[in-house]
A and B are shown apart, each in its own frame.
Chain A
Amino acid sequence: MSASVDEVLLDVRGLGISFLMGGGAVEATRDVSFAVRPGERVGIVGESGCGKTITGLSLLGLLPAATSRVVGEAMFEGENLVGMPLSRMRHVRGRKISMIFQEPMSALDPVFTVGQQIGETIRTHFKVDKKQARERSIEALANVGIPSPARVHDSYPHQLSGGMRQRAMIAIALACEPRLLVADEPTTALDVTIQAQIIDLLLELSGKNGTALLFITHDLGVIAETCTRMITMYAGQVVEDAPVDTALVRPLHPYTSGLLRSLPRLSARGAVLPSIAGRVPTLRDMPTGCRFAERCGHRQEACEAPQVIETLEEHRVRCWRHGELVLPGALTDREAAA
């Protein structure tokens, strides 16, 4: 993890995803740019439909080829992941970049044992025989804190609890020690005590192997506890990108601030919770100007012009008023004063 700050593992530039629907193309994300450094833990936060999941899927070429179109680039170790031929992508998936999902049951194949599924990944990427693959699979299960790895190795997914399945999926994802793990809501379906175990595990493994994390979630608490940087997406665009502590204490985009303020812990018990009025614009009639303007309490006429993302040292923001607005973050007044 002693990577220099200039070194970039994943460099996403101008990534845009459209879906072909009913004869036309609908633009789902536009001009998404961000970078992940080796070993860095980056969180992407946003509400349903903001484009965070499809951004993750597009990195591994997992969007349906017939009905989607991806533009822009995603440079990973000198190669562009966008438009990468499948034959090449096979060497990247599971080996260099892995992905885990919210619902482990949908990612695990119900007719194969957990061990067969880890073994498959290992044997795809390394020249090992069946016996060696079994040993490495059991080791991978032990590494994710599964109490009796040999037994779980020979179990089918339905025989495991939700927490154990998520561990098994992490074991598969990390079996080949990838450089980047894309985790899409990996703890959302889990109970809070099990979520704490999984977060601990991801932090430990990422630290030990130097695996970078791209953590996609709607849960700001999970981001705070897991990530070093936080990217906020809204309506298919990156609106803010900052070190996590900065984003939590002094967000520069009104949407990030609004998300943080709506958390119950910041309001007195029983008091009215601040909320963000209105709805996300639909993909078919996206405003040409600031996409958040309609719901923003700080809107001015100039917000109707397209907003560019500006870089201020470690902080990037897509709001022309960032210099004049002082927006509250995730602290109570008392905490902020201290």
Chain B
Amino acid sequence: MKKAIVAVENLRIRFPTQDRRETVKAVDGVSFAVMPGETFGIIGESGSGKSTLGRAVVCLLKPTEGRVLHGGTDPYTLSSRALRLRRRAFQIIFQDPNAALNPRMNMLDSIREPLDIVGEGTRAERDRIAMEMLERVGLRPEFGGRYPHEISGGQKQRINIARVLTVRPSLIVCDEVVAALDVSIRADILNLFADLQREFGLTYLFITHDLGVVSHVSSRIAVMYLGKFMEMGPAEDIAERPLHPYTQALLSAEPIPLPSSMRETRRIILQGEIPSPTNPPSGCRFRTRCPHAQEICATLEPAWREAAPGRFVACHFAGEVTGHPLSETRIKEALA
């Protein structure tokens, strides 16, 4: 069996609120392993803790409890020099293509910057690698001399991808990387991610709120709600046979561009909003919005159990409640 590239063990990350009187439980007990070469998707709404989790995986946030293991070792047990070397292998790209680019640096300098920091090779060698990556992400050499305000959002995101590639990472956390892009550009960038994965043997942790995107790119998906995983399994199973009522509601809420006659009219509309992570509901944290909630859901936190091989779920009634799978499945069934 292959060894996990990243293993997250019972991870908890807490922050004090601004007035320091309460604690935000951003990630509240999450365990999973990412295997080399796979794309592991994490889907969740704002406030679910998915970005915090992504940052913890690349050591931008220290666990309050639990561990993040990089290839079996806990990076926080390493010396700072060894940690810095290891960091190269675990990179992150963010949603806002502007945020990572210095407006006063031209693109070639921005792409080369990570290599400068690592301090590898001569300046000429680093320039050569940066140019190579610029070309690899589909931009012409003249882009090297341009500044962020002179290029489009999609091109900036290509630059951000080129930047992390220079240090030859093994895993890249992609945090909402296509959310700010127009539909047609989005497709191009997703294609680029797929090409690079094949070429460099990359592993992705793909964090997004977009179901269409996550189920297209991922091999496995975890669904996150208020700091915890609700469900995890192969992408196809999650998208077409969701077990958890939250996953079912998410899938059913996704607007699908289909003519009205082909669309499922019965939608699950969740009531209310995501509760505060400072004080999550007792028992199952989804119960306040769950259409199937029973008494037991308020008193007993559902266990994280393997409902079928490779399929994990935290719900007392998972599998018993009727789901509303994606309409394409419904159509397939109707056609069969």
Contacts and interface: CB of A to CB of B under 8 A. Distances in A.
A289 interface: no
Given A193-B249, A264-B212, A273-B187, A330 B255 contact: no
A269 B219 CA distance: 9
Of A218, A262, A267, the most chain B CB neighbours within 10 A belong to: A262
A272 B191 contact: yes
Q: Is the interface of B mostly helix, strand, loop or mixed?
A: helix
Of B46, B215, B256, B258, the most chain A CB neighbours within 10 A belong to: B258
Of B186, B211, B273, the most chain A CB neighbours within 10 A belong to: B273
A224 B262 CA distance: 11
A275 interface: yes
Interface string A162-182: 111000000000000000000
A231 B262 CA distance: 21
B255 A267 contact: no
Nearest to B215: A269
A271 B273 CA distance: 35
Contact of A331 (B153, B236, B258): B258
Task: Using C-beta atoms within 8 Å of the partner chain, give the interface range for chain B.
Answer: 35 or more
Of A191, A244, A334, the most chain B CB neighbours within 10 A belong to: A191
Contacts of A191: 45-46, 209, 274
Contacts of B273: 161, 163-164, 194
B332 interface: yes
Interface stretch (B103-111, B119-127, B263-271): B263-271
Contacts of A274: 187
Contact of A262 (B186, B256, B259): B186
A161 B217 CA distance: 31
Nearest to A195: B253
A224 B184 contact: no
Interface residues of A, number: 49
A276 interface: yes
A282 to B, nearest CB: 10
Interface in B63-82: none
A254 B289 CA distance: 42
A221 B190 contact: no
A62 B262 CA distance: 39
A192 B45 contact: yes
Contact of A249 (B213, B259, B289): B259
Given A192-B209, A245-B259, A220 B183 contact: yes
Contacts of B289: 193
A195 B249 CA distance: 12
A108 interface: no
Contacts of B187: 262, 264, 273-275
B255 to A, nearest CB: 3
B182 interface: yes
B256 A245 contact: no
B254 interface: yes
A162 B211 CA distance: 21
A317 B277 CA distance: 50
A259 B183 contact: yes
B257 A223 contact: yes
A181 B293 CA distance: 37
Contacts of B211: 192
17 contacts: A48-B182, A192-B45, A196-B255, A197-B270, A200-B269, A221-B256, A262-B184, A263-B183, A264-B190, A264-B212, A267-B216, A272-B194, A273-B190, A275-B187, A275-B191, A330-B257, A335-B258
